[in-house]
């Protein structure tokens, strides 16, 4: 994986093969950040990265100037890899080892952008959205982005769906 833009543009990051992850493809990530770049000025913003895996998305946000990123994953090896890489690159990422649903249920902070990339076979995509909406975790003018495959769909008025091969992004605006 590589960081596409910002301070660490072009930097390749190699995650250990033992991590149980499916990183967002560079093509899909580039398309997503093109959308976000056209809508948001990243300076001063904060991001919550759920199901962080390799930290691919968090690294990209940090490189582009997001003030602070919170990465949540339940896998110790993923958290250790994100911490190690964040330290090496001097990135502004805090990690939390937790089940993402449990974390959302107790979270007291609001974020400008929440990105969730659960495993495609995860059965609670809608629960993620419901908890975030119920707990008002996205700041006004922010967004929630849920990455999923074509087996998941959301029927909402305030949603935009972008498809890049097998990768789908459902973007909820606030």
Distance CA 2, CA 112 (A): 24
The pLDDT value recorded for residue 76 is 95
Residue 32 belongs to some domain of the structure: no
- Position 122 scores a pLDDT of 85
**47-69 CB burial, b ≥16 within 10 A, e <16:** bbbbbbbbbbbbbbbbbbebebb
Question: Which residue in 117, 62, 63 sits closest to 93, CA to CA?
Answer: 62
Which domain, by its residues, includes 143? 44-173
| Assigned domain for 38 exists | no
Tens-of-pLDDT digits for all 174 residues of the chain?
A: 899 999 999 999 888 888 878 778 788 899 999 999 998 889 899 999 999 999 999 999 999 999 999 999 999 999 999 999 999 999 999 999 999 999 999 999 999 999 999 987 888 888 999 999 999 999 999 999 999 888 787 776 668 888 888 888 999 988
Q: Is residue 4 part of a domain?
A: no
Q: Does residue 65 lie in a domain region?
A: yes
CATH assignment of the domain containing 135: 3.40.50.150
Q: Is residue 155 part of a domain?
A: yes
Would you say residue 100 lies in a domain? yes
The secondary element (H helix, E strand) that includes residue 127 is helix 125-134
- Does 126 map to a domain? yes
pLDDT at 59: 96
Q: What is the pLDDT of residue 20?
A: 78
Give the pLDDT score at 146. 93
Q: Is residue 24 part of a domain?
A: no
**Which pLDDT does position 24 carry in this prediction?**
80
Count of domains for the chain: 1
Q: How far apart are CA 105 and CA 83, in angstroms?
A: 24
How far CA 33 is from CA of 26, 109, 114, 127, in Å, comes to 10, 23, 13, 25
């Amino acid at each position: 994986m590589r960081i596409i833009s910002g301070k660490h543009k072009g930097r390749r990051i190699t995650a250990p093969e033992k991590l149980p992850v499916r990183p967002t493809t560079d093509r899909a990530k580039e398309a997503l950040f093109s959308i976000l770049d056209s809508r948001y000025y990243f300076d001063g913003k904060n991001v919550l990265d759920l199901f962080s895996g390799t930290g691919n998305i968090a690294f990209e946000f940090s490189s582009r100037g997001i003030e602070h990123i919170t990465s949540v994953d339940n896998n110790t090896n993923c958290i250790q890899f994100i911490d190690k890489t964040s330290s090496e690159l001097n990135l502004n990422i805090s990690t939390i080892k937790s089940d993402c649903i449990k974390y959302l249920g107790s979270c007291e902070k609001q974020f400008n952008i929440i990105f969730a990339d659960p495993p495609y076979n995860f059965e609670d995509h809608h629960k993620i959205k419901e908890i975030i909406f119920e707990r008002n975790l996205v700041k006004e003018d922010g967004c929630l982005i849920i990455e999923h495959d074509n087996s998941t769909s959301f029927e909402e008025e305030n949603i935009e769906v972008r498809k890049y091969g097998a990768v789908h992004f459902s973007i909820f605006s606030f």
